[in-house]
Amino acid sequence: MTDETRTTDPGTPTDADTASDAGAAADMDVAADLGAALAPLRERIDAIDAEIVALLNERARIALEIGRVKDAQGQKPIRDPAREAAVIERVTSASEGLFPQPELVALYRKLIAATRKVQVEQRRGKRPPDGDPA
C-alpha cells in the first residue's frame, strides 16, 4: 500500500479494527454469560456425581455382605443370571426415558460385572471382610 492510497496513520485503528475489537469483546461477554449460566448447573452435576460414587460404594459394601452370606450358606456361584436380568428389567422400567435405554442397560451390565468382581476379590482373599481394599 502506498502513502497515496492509505487514508489513516499506520498506528491509527481503522473502522475494521474497531469492529473486530467490538466483536471480540462481545464474544467474551457471551462466553462470560455462558460460563455464569453453566456454573450452577455444573455444580449440581458435580454434587450428583459425588452422590453416585457414594451410592456405588454403598452398593459394593452390600455386595460384599451378599458374598459373605452366600459363602456362609455354601453357595458357590457368584453370578446369578436371573437376578441380573431382574435388575436390568427393574432399572429400565424405572427410567423416565431421558437416558437412552441401550446405554442404561450397558451401564448396569458394567456395574453388575464390577460388583461381581468385588465379590470375586473378596472370595479370593484380595479384599478384607470389611470391604476396604487390601
| pLDDT single digits (tens) 72-94 | 999 889 999 999 999 999 999 99
Residue 90: closest CA among 68, 112, 118? 112
All three cell numbers of 87:
435388575
Q: How many CA atoms lie within 13 A of 8 on its CB side?
A: 8
For 26-74, what is each residue's pLDDT tens digit?
A: 777 878 888 899 999 999 999 999 999 999 999 999 999 999 999 899 9
CA 54 to chain centre: 13
Banded pLDDT at 106 (limits 50, 70, 90): very high
Q: Would you mind telling me the total number of residues written for the chain in this entry?
A: 134
The verdict on pTM exceeding 0.75 is no
The stretch 101-105 carries a mean pLDDT of 97
* Fold topology of 15-123: Chorismate Mutase Domain, subunit A (1.20.59)
- pLDDT, residue 112, reads 97
Domain ranges of the chain: 15-123
Q: Is-contact 99 44, C-beta < 8 A? A: no
- Residues 92 and 58: their CA atoms lie apart, in Å, by 21
What is the Cα gyration radius of the chain? 29
CA 3 to chain centre: 60
Residue in the structure block whose three cell numbers are 435388575? 87
- pLDDT, residue 29, reads 80
